[in-house]
A and B are shown apart, each in its own frame.
Chain A
């Protein structure tokens, strides 16, 4: 158990809908990362927050947005869902921000868009 929790574990929704994925980082971790793993892809970095502020952005679509709240939990919002958005979404957290801080991953949320 990494200490990072993600809810829900599974989500099935229809095209055009909007969903929110939630992540609670490990206690004491200030940095939260979101990754997407599609069927034929490795993990793709989406976005990072550090202590409530956006720190880095990767291949995140404009239909997707995220935020980190004062209690440090984070939410990833996916809107106007398409079939291709079906994937595993992982959240990771780390103590600080810096490329040698170990990232601890949650178990992921499996999103299926039908």
Chain B
């Protein structure tokens, strides 16, 4: 039973355009959501997070949107750069339980020059 789903295994965009990565979750107990970026041969790196009390969080070129009613979050990257090419993982956790992160399977983003 996959509680965090990233339905697009891959996404290709042109440099300078917007990249939108999507994530759906099923567990209504999740109240904290994160995006990690992973380059080959490296571990995941934290990118941005959002608490369930917010619907948007912005950090430079990266914005995460949360739609609790739809159990959906998205990561927007504007403008996209070739260095953003990586695998992006969506993750979620719930307070009151453990601090374990539940990850999606990832979306491979390719930004073409």
Contact = CB atoms under 8 A, between A and B. Distances in A.
B46 A55 contact: no
A44 B91 CA distance: 11
Interface string B82-107: 00000001010111011111111110
Contacts of A104: 46
Nearest to B102: A45
Residue among B94, B99, B101 having the largest count of chain A Cβ atoms under 10 Å:
B99
A98 to B, nearest CB: 6
A92 to B, nearest CB: 7
Nearest to B43: A105
Contacts of B100: 33, 45, 48, 56, 58
B41 A98 contact: no
B89 A48 contact: no
A112 interface: no
B32 A99 contact: yes
A102 B44 CA distance: 12
Interface of A: 2, 4, 31, 33, 35, 40-45, 48, 55-58, 90, 92, 94, 97-108
Given A45-B100, A48-B100, A99 B43 contact: no
B49 interface: yes
A56 B95 CA distance: 13
B30 to A, nearest CB: 10
Contacts of B94: 99
A40 B104 CA distance: 11
A32 to B, nearest CB: 12
Given A90-B44, A105-B44, A99 B99 contact: yes
B21 interface: no
